[in-house]
A and B are shown apart, each in its own frame.
Chain A
Amino acid sequence: MERSGVPTDGPLSNTSTRAGLLARVRSLPLFKLTAIWEAFRVATASLRSNKLRTLLTLTGIVVGVTAVIAVVTIIKGLDKTVAQTFSSQGSTVFTISKNPQIIKSREDFIKFNRRKDVTHEDAGTIRRLCTECWRVGIAANAVEEVKHADQKAESVRIRGVDPITMFDIDGVSIDAGRIWTEGEGDSGRDICVVGPDILKNLFNDASADRALGEEIRVGGRPYTIIGVLEPLGSIFGFSRDNVVYIPYSTYQKAYGARRSLVVFIQVPDADQLEPAEDQVRTIMHNRRGHTQDDPDDEGFSLETQDVFLNLYGSATSNIYIVTIGVAAVSLVVGGIVVMNIMLVSVTERTKEIGIRKAIGARKKDILTQFLIEAVTVTAIGGAVGVGTGFGLAYVISALIGFPLLISVTSAVLGVGVSSIVGIVSGLWPAWRASKLDPIEALRAE
């Protein structure tokens, strides 16, 4: 029913109604903000008055977000390290070897051991026949104890290489001194080029020049240092500078000729990798035929650095999946905790809801208030989780030694996802609060 045409209650009420209406209309766009700000104030006040409860409520959300942020940050840091490491050797290199770099099972191990060794002759044939190949070199590794005077270093990688272009294929360069000449290399002289870790461990971090001409003992054999390499840094905490390069012919004298070696082939450009691989595969097929007892086996392994990258990629994607699982579980549990606490809070504050309704709060005002309270809890939890996640990643990155990449996206995502958890878990308690009958609610104590 509308107001009947007769002028009603006198001038006073007429103007006051109109003023009320005017005020209402004028403040319409403001209303939402005002109500939300009020809801936010109420939310923070009620969270502050129940500090322990708030803390416990936050925990689930914090744990979930911390896990995701830490893992994402760590893996991003590792990704960068890995990308840098492999780009130094580049995607222009592939290898021929007896055993692949990654052996997945015992059966494979047995199978690969039945293969013929990859020899100096294999490398020579490839060098001769492969027209697409740019550099071809051979390398064999051993691990030894290295001594100088009374200092010693354990587990040093001894790398016998030929020819000297293997330094280029490996992506290492000379910092001081020189590489051996071809003549020195072929004649099997006891000379070596060492990585910077050798200086650090055996020469008390002396300057490179001081080590040149010094003699070190590798597995009992003396070698003269003629060059020092530029540092490469470490990956996953393992130094790549703890190495001694010696000529392959010297390596053969020390460790025998019967060890299988690895042929490294480099092409000038990544585009030429595939034709070069095809050529080398054909050459090797002609030389090998098949492994005895196993017609399906090629008899050799042709690999690029992609093997590592693929393994790394699948390992990290598994870690991602597990972490997302952990995070999802703890966010669900956290959400249930928040819902429970919100239900308790609604019950405790029934009277307050009654008062608010009596003085004019509508359903949506009460709904908004409790929703904002739930979202405030979870968003704070999310923010704390982002902080502790980055903190954890920082500690781990400092321990292992990889760069810390703080991603704004993951921070925003962490807070965003936990806010959504807040909305979802706050919805039902808030709806219950908004449905309360004001008379009943006012009667509550």
Chain B
Amino acid sequence: MSSNVTVASPVENMIQAKTEVTGNDPKSLISMRNIWKTYQMGTEKVHALHGVSFDIPRGEYIAIIGPSGSGKSTLMNLIGCLDTPSEGEYWLNSKNVSEMDDDELARIRNQEVGFVFQTFNLLARATALHNVELPLIYGGVGSSQRHDMAKKALAAVDLTERMLHKPNELSGGQRQRVAIARALVNHPSILLADEPTGALDTHTSMEIMDLFERLHEQGNTIIIVTHEPDIAARAHRVISIRDGQIEKDDRIR
């Protein structure tokens, strides 16, 4: 990318040069500082992200949009702590995630991140309740407390009655609500949704988006990664990614 592309952010300061990286901004839940992600493809180096920086304060409802191949998925994987940047710093809830090893990342994913996937990604053989309990199991929560927390999370998405059903006995919308309950059960810092309505019909999509709005009103920080403008339009801030860089960062609400 040419260096004269300016990436404007109305909310945060842009920091372009690596030397100016200052690290954690204590006001932000997420601080991305000049993030680079480079893949080695044979002899060639491919930059999926080059020099991405932004901040997300607590309680924001934000959409990340971009066409396929834009680096959107790479960014999502970094935000969700499934991967670490090649260069740059990522601060999540005052923790420098960019320097963590696999097991520390697993811990962070367990405690700080709630994932919602396009294809729900529920365990097929487990009941809704057990699916929701799963993060608590890996978090080491004892069984009675775990049951209570999972039931509360399912109640929050109106699925109390279906909690002993397996995913194949649930509709698409219900499955996604189970996934959202699973994402929320550990009270994570961020709710990270990857195309959460991609596998749902329009009506159900709207229901799920209404649920996200409700969760946002309750104080959750929500990040939705999507390529659908309709979905992005319901967020309060939209970051557009193109060719591995931030193209636009607009507060729309």
Contact = CB atoms under 8 A, between A and B. Distances in A.
Interface of A: 1, 3-4, 6, 8-10, 12-13, 16-17, 20, 23-24, 26-28, 30-31, 34-35, 38, 45-46, 49, 351-352, 354-365, 438-439, 442
B77 A363 contact: no
A1 to B, nearest CB: 5
30 contacts: A1-B23, A6-B26, A8-B26, A10-B58, A13-B58, A13-B93, A23-B140, A27-B140, A34-B137, A34-B140, A35-B138, A45-B126, A46-B125, A49-B125, A351-B121, A354-B121, A355-B122, A355-B123, A356-B134, A358-B80, A358-B121, A359-B109, A359-B115, A359-B135, A360-B106, A360-B107, A360-B138, A439-B77, A439-B83, A442-B117
B110 interface: yes
B26 A13 contact: no
B135 A12 contact: no
A35 B58 CA distance: 32
Given A20-B187, A355-B123, A4 B83 contact: no
Given A46-B125, A355-B123, A362-B106, A4 B24 contact: yes
Contacts of B102: 362-363
B192 to A, nearest CB: 10
Contacts of B96: 1
B229 interface: no
A35 B107 contact: no
B140 A359 contact: no
A365 B138 contact: yes
A353 B142 CA distance: 22
Contact of A361 (B80, B106, B187): B106
B26 A363 contact: no
Contacts of B126: 45
B219 interface: yes
Given A23-B141, A358-B80, 12 more contacts: A1-B24, A1-B95, A9-B58, A23-B139, A23-B140, A26-B142, A35-B140, A356-B134, A357-B109, A360-B109, A360-B138, A363-B102
A16 B125 contact: no
B76 to A, nearest CB: 10
Contacts of A34: 137, 140-143
Interface of B: 23-24, 26, 29, 58, 77, 80, 82-83, 93-96, 102-103, 106-107, 109-111, 115, 117, 121-123, 125-126, 134-135, 137-143, 145, 182, 186-187, 189, 219
A30 B138 CA distance: 11
B142 A30 contact: yes
A216 B141 CA distance: 86
A24 B140 contact: yes
A357 B117 CA distance: 14
Given A1-B24, A20-B111, A352-B123, A362 B137 contact: no
B155 to A, nearest CB: 19
Contacts of B117: 442
A30 B142 CA distance: 7
Nearest to A16: B187
Contacts of A363: 102-103, 106
Contacts of A352: 123
Contacts of A38: 137
Given A1-B23, A442-B121, A362 B103 contact: yes
A225 B142 CA distance: 82
B139 A3 contact: no
A358 B82 contact: yes
B170 to A, nearest CB: 16
